[in-house]
Structure formats: C-alpha cells, structure tokens
Structure 1
Amino acid sequence: MHDLTGFQRDLLYLIAGRDEPHGLAIKDEMDQYYETEIHHGRLYPNLDTLVEKGLVEKGSKDRRTNAYTITQRGRREIEARREWEQEYLDW
C-alpha cells in the first residue's frame, strides 16, 4: 500500500466498504468526500491501477457497467495499513 497515492487508497477503502460498487457510484461518493467533481479521466485510470496491482477485481454488471470488489490481497493491505496507523495514532 506504500506505493499508492492517497486518492488510490481512498478508492480502495471505499470499494472495501461497499458491495460491488459500480464506477458511477464510486465517482458520486468520491465527489462528495472531496467536495469537488472527480473527472472520469482521474477516476478510471486509478481504478485500473488498483486492478493491475491485484488489490481490486473488476467485473461486469452488464455490458456497460463495471463492478469493483476488493481482493484478499486488498484486504490484507488495508489491515496492514490500519496496524501501522495504530502504532502512531494510539488514542
């Protein structure tokens, strides 16, 4: 996880907390969190990076809609990050 950007880490956490979200649902939530519109040219390449790194799987809901799920590796990476954070944020 150390090689992810903050944006990619946020995407990973969002996907982990949802049941197979599709791209536009992810975009909508990221728009709200960042309080600005996240453009497709930023969103989808970062989702593809997570897929390439084996942290997320991309499947199809239908011919036009992709759904994203966290992988076991993605879950392990999140858990390792949480343990690392806890070392420094023990309050």
Structure 2
Amino acid sequence: MYDLTGFQRDLLYVIAGLDDPHGLAIKDELEDYYESEIHHGRLYPNLDTLVDKGLVEKGELDRRTNFYTLTRRGRREIDARQEWEAEYVDQMETAEASS
C-alpha cells in the first residue's frame, strides 16, 4: 500500500466499508469526508488503478453501472496498514500517558 496515494487509500477504506458500492456511492462517501466535490475525472482513473494493482475487483451491475469489491489482497493491504498505524498510535498514547 506504500505506493498508493492518500486518495487511493481512502477509496480502499470506503469500498471496504460498503457492500459492493457503485462509483457514485463511493463518490458520495468521499465528498462527505472531504467536504468538497470529487470529479469523475479523479474518481474513476483512481478506481481503475486499484483494479490494475489487484486490490479491487470491478463488476457490472448493468451497462452503465459498475460495482467495486476488495480482493483478498486489498483486504490484506488494509489489515497491514491498520497494524502499522496502530503501532505508532499506541506509541504516541504511551508517550502521552507517561508525560
């Protein structure tokens, strides 16, 4: 996951938290989080990058709508990232408690 942008990591987290979301559902979640508009020209190329990297699978609901799901690799990458983050957050909390 080290080679992903922050936006791509956020896409992974949103996809992980929703049941087979379509692009507009992902866009809506990110717009709520970022408190600004996410343009299609930013969203879909980044989703395609995650598909190309094997972190996300893209399926077709109908001719106009795709849905996205995490692959096993995508889930492992999120788990590894959360463990890495927890290591540093735990250290920070320990340091603050001892101050």
Q: Residues of 2 paired with 1:55 and 1:21: CA distance?
A: 15
TM-score by length of 2: 0.90
Q: How many residues align?
A: 91
Secondary structure at 2:63's aligned position in 1?
coil
TM-score by length of 1: 0.98
Q: Which has the higher contact order (CA 8 A, sep 6+)?
A: 1
Aligned to 2:58: 58
Q: Residues of 1 paired with 2:15 and 2:29: CA distance?
A: 10
Identical aligned residues as a percent: 79
Gaps of 5+ in 1: none
Alignment of 1:1-91 (within 5 A): 1-90=1-90, 91=93
Gaps of 5+ in 2: 94-99
Is the helix fraction higher in 1 or 2?
2
Q: Residues of 1 paired with 2:48 and 2:57: CA distance?
A: 9
